Structure 1
Amino acid sequence: MATKTSAATAWRILYTLVIIGSLIPVFVSGYNLIDTIILFVHGDPDCTHPHLERDLGFAIFAFVLFLIGVIGVVARVDVIQAICMIVLLITVVLLLAVTMIITAGPQELFGLNHSDDGKKIVSVFRLEKYPRWAKNFILNDKDWGVFQACVVREKFCEKLDIDALFQEGCCSPPVYCGYQDINKTWVVPKSGLYHEDNNCVNWSNDDNKRCYHCNACKAAYINNYVYEWALRGAFMFITLVIWFGCLTFTFDIDDENNKREDNKLCSP
């Protein structure tokens, strides 16, 4: 009798841990949903979330999906858990596949690439490395215009706590341009190998222009966009692993309960 009681207690503790584990994604996605709603209502002061309407839609989708999944775990409805896992698996595959395809070009995100003409530029800032379809989708006139308006309105380059990639790609001319910093003003070089390059020609000391039209800025914008979605994919993959564990334990608990019922029926 004592052995059966100990086993039952162990299963209850295990089941409680399963429920707590399944609640973690709900709390995280709920926090992300609230944060996204706040940004959507009040605006993004750092301009690092250029597609808030999409972020909000995804946050709602993730929260609802995780909530339904928890209901399936708590109620021990295997069908609900299985359906949620299938939807989650499809979402993870799509997110990670798309981000991997987009970033397949710039593989050395923080290294120096050397092209045939000897030009050096950090690969993450090379716009030509990204697929044409990705550039057309992410850099469409509406979204790119919203971002440019945001960086001017929020005095983007004056903030030191924003994404370093954005600052490096959008707020200063690339090193290879040869600009000279004199009293916090970049002076155009008299000559240079790349003085006619897009990133050099479009640079301006005007706070409303800077390098916001540069290919380096566009590339940094794409990189940040893809990075955000890659993080979502990674989080959902972790959730998928947690759910798989929950579903496995749920099956084990059901099997154990079924065995107990069978033993009771078979007992004289």
Structure 2
Amino acid sequence: MRVSNNLVGILNFATLVLSLPIIATGIWLSKQAGTECERFLDTPVIVLGVFVLLVSIAGLVGSCCRVTWLLWVYLLVMFLLILLLFCFTVFAFVVTNKGAGQAISGRGYKEYRLGDYSNWLRKRVTGNWGKIRSCLVDSKVCQKLLVSASTPPVDFYEERLSSLQSGCCKPSNDCNYQYVSPTNWTPSATPTSQNPDCAKWSNDVNKLCYDCDSCKAGLLDNIKSDWKRVAEINIVFLVFLVIVYTVGCCAFRNNRDGHSWK
């Protein structure tokens, strides 16, 4: 048996083994999920695991058992996967090109404006904000600030808050609210800001600024950072897939030449 067939078989056996814990994780999530956000993850994880399992079986049987048509299906799926991953990587870089936190004088944290980010991302987030909001509340993104209720103003203003904490857990700086504790602020007696977020702030720990545009902007900044990391990892993964695809093409040619000789 040719080297390329062996190599494809080994690679697909490894991915087949990898697919089993992925499927098991999805099933575990479906049984253990206590919130809507956790339940949202189980189906995609199971689908991903089953997809990897089926593709691995096709590549393993096609290369090791010399089933040419099955190896052809495997290569077709691999080609489509490479094309899809390439398109997603380019798209991820495009939609995350805009937007950044704004530095505030005398503050350790930055503030975020919804209009600074990609229009496509803004529509996705604002259109599904009801579910996203409940997920943010369930994740207790402001829990660290609640624990630090005795933090003096000077120390709080120097805090390196995450984009979600800055956007969702405190009022915007231009609202001129008076600091009492990290999640307790008193409105100014003479409000001057036209920022609509100022009227949405609440000292209720389940409300805070979760309905503010700054909270949506903080989430978008978080998504932007995550997508950029994913896009960078995808480049490495794409190179790996192209190498596997090339080896698979060699195995396919070996199968075809073997059948022609017979």
TM-score of the aligned structures, taking structure 1 as reference length: 0.63
- Counterpart Cα distance in 1 of 2:15 and 2:43: 17
Counterpart residue number, 1:82: 75
* Residues 88, 240 of structure 1: 8 Å contact kept: no
Q: Does 1:186 align with 2:179?
A: no
Counterpart residue number, 1:68: 54
- Counterpart Cα distance in 2 of 1:202 and 1:65: 44
Counterpart residue number, 1:144: 129
Counterpart residue number, 2:220: 222
Q: Does 1:199 align with 2:197?
A: yes
Counterpart residue number, 1:158: 143
* Residues 96, 233 of structure 1: 8 Å contact kept: yes
Aligned residues: 236
Query: For residues 16 and 62 of structure 1, do their structure 2 counterparts lie closer, same or farther at Cα, with a shift above 3 Å needed?
Result: same
- Counterpart Cα distance in 2 of 1:177 and 1:244: 53
- Helix, strand or coil: the match of 2:217? helix
- Counterpart Cα distance in 1 of 2:20 and 2:30: 15
* Residues 73, 247 of structure 1: 8 Å contact kept: no
1:105-133: CA deviation from partner (whole Å, max 9, x where unpaired) = 21xx456499xxxxxx947x321123444
1:81-122: CA deviation from partner (whole Å, max 9, x where unpaired) = 32122221232134334433432321xx456499xxxxxx94
**1:235 deviation in Å?**
5.4
* Residues 27, 42 of structure 2: 8 Å contact kept: yes
* Residues 103, 110 of structure 2: 8 Å contact kept: yes
Q: Does 1:242 align with 2:235?
A: no
- Counterpart Cα distance in 2 of 1:156 and 1:70: 39
* Residues 15, 56 of structure 2: 8 Å contact kept: no
* Residues 114, 216 of structure 2: 8 Å contact kept: yes
1:129-160: CA deviation from partner (whole Å, max 9, x where unpaired) = 234443333322xx322233344456442257
* Residues 166, 221 of structure 1: 8 Å contact kept: yes
Letter in 2 for 1:146: K
Bigger Cα displacement from structure 2, 248-257 vs 74-83: 248-257
- Helix, strand or coil: the match of 1:139? helix
* Residues 33, 56 of structure 1: 8 Å contact kept: no
1:198-235: CA deviation from partner (whole Å, max 9, x where unpaired) = 33332221112101011111123334456556666655
Letter in 2 for 1:130: Y
Query: Alignment partner for residue 98 of structure 2, among 76, 98, 105?
Result: 105
Q: Does 1:174 align with 2:172?
A: yes
Percent of aligned pairs with the same residue? 23
* Residues 27, 46 of structure 2: 8 Å contact kept: no
- Counterpart Cα distance in 1 of 2:101 and 2:115: 16
Letter in 2 for 1:171: C
Query: For residues 200 and 96 of structure 1, do their structure 2 counterparts lie closer, same or farther at Cα, with a shift above 3 Å needed?
Result: farther
Letter in 2 for 1:128: G
The gaps in structure 2 that reach 5 residues or longer are: 146-160
- Counterpart Cα distance in 1 of 2:201 and 2:6: 59
